[in-house]
Amino acid sequence: MADVELGVSGSITVQQPFQTSKSMFQLPMQVSLSSPAAKEWFGQRRENIRPWTAFVNTGNFRTPSSIPRLSKRIMRNVEYFQSNYFFVFLGLFAYCLITSPLLLIAVAASLGACYILSVQNAEKKVTVFGHELSLAQQYGLVAVCSLPLFYLAGAGAALFWVLGASIFIITLHAAFYNIDAILNPDDDRIDLMMEEV
């Protein structure tokens, strides 16, 4: 038998098993309502609000003539009134918080803890067991500690109620609001004439 020589070369870097880098536990971007991206997004929603008088004008509510027109109408209404629908969702969320005092207290306690942490973090960094925690990690810890309180306050039921009521109201409005009366008044007149015949 002939001896076969194999040439193997290269370098292998081995990372220590318990050595963690500082960026391992940091989020790729900071999520904050005071960040410029969040302010810009909320500003866009506020600028794109359609007039509420047109949004609730009962003269524009009509039943769709067919199923394909219904789906097209829903898509166009959601696209046209998306900012109004967002504020309808926020209104239902505020209503749910106001009518549930225990849930309001739980949210206030959680937000208060986050505010206290942000003030403390500005003065000095918080360390736990010798590890420095970022602000996002501290917010995550507050969220995890708040879960039992939210559970006792009925946050799950409130969340599903808000989502269900929002989907129901938005779908109802989008299905029956005749967007063509605003965007294409001529097409609306033709449809009315065809329906009368």
Neighbouring residues of 110: CB distance < 8 A, sequence distance ≥ 6: 142, 143, 146, 149, 150
Q: In which domain, by residue range, is 147 found?
A: 64-196
Residue 139 lies in a domain: yes
pLDDT number for residue 89: 94
Residue 183 lies in a domain: yes
Residue 80 lies in a domain: yes
Residue 40 lies in a domain: no
Residue 21 lies in a domain: no
Q: Which helix (H) or strand (E) holds 41?
A: helix 36-47
What is the model's pTM?
0.65
Per-residue pLDDT of the chain (197 residues; tens, 9 = 90+): 556 666 656 565 655 544 444 444 444 444 455 667 777 877 777 777 888 888 888 888 888 888 888 889 999 999 999 899 999 999 999 999 889 899 999 999 999 999 988 888 878 777 777 778 888 888 888 999 999 999 998 989 999 999 999 999 999 999 999 888 777 766 555 454 445 54
Residue 48 lies in a domain: no
For 175, half-sphere exposure in the C-beta direction (CA atoms, 13 angstrom radius) is 9
Q: Is 133 helix (H, G, I), strand (E, B) or coil?
A: strand
Residue 22 lies in a domain: no
Helices (H), 100-154: 101-123, 135-153
Determine what percent of the chain falls in helix, strand and coil, rounding each to the nearest 5: 70, 5, 25
Total domains present in the chain: 1
